[in-house]
Amino acid sequence: MGLQKGQTNNKNGKPKGTKHLKTQQWEKLGEFIIGEGAEKFIEEIKMLDDVDYINAYTKVLSYFKPQLARTILTDERKQIKPTVIIASNQKELKELNAFLDETD
């Protein structure tokens, strides 16, 4: 019969409750990003000129706030039917906007 859940014959195995190395690394990176990394980013972004500041700010903002979808209203002689298009990233959004601009 096999071992019960949570049991092992490996006496040198990881102790119960110990976090996996990758988990520890991700947690350490997260602490850096919200601590020292954030402070450094704020210092650096303050030194940018207006255009570069806006570009950097909007790129970072996309990680905190989702982009709104573009809504197109069309008239097919019955009623207006809304079409919602959702882009999952900046490249896709630009491609969709370019396509929609061509079809207007």
The reply to whether 47 and 76 lie within a common domain is no
Mean pLDDT of 5-12: 78
User: DSSP character for 47?
Assistant: T
Residue 9 lies in a domain: no
- 51 is in which domain, residue-wise? 21-61
d(CA 78, CA 52): 47
Asked if 83 and 71 count as a contact pair (C-beta separation under 8 A), the reply is yes
Please state the pTM of the whole predicted model.
0.42
In terms of phi and psi (left: phi > 0; alpha: psi -120 to 50; beta: otherwise), the region of 77 is left
Is pLDDT at 102 greater than 80 in this prediction? no
pLDDT in tens, 55-82: 888 888 877 777 676 666 666 565 555 5
Phi, psi angles (nearest 5°) of residue 84: -110, 130
Residue 25 lies in a domain: yes
pLDDT mean across residues, the chain: 80
User: DSSP character for 66?
Assistant: P
pLDDT in tens, 14-30: 787 889 999 999 999 98
Residue 50 lies in a domain: yes
Max Cα-Cα span within the chain: 76
Residue 13 lies in a domain: no
Residue 6 lies in a domain: no
User: In the chain, how many domains are there?
Assistant: 2
pLDDT at 77: 61
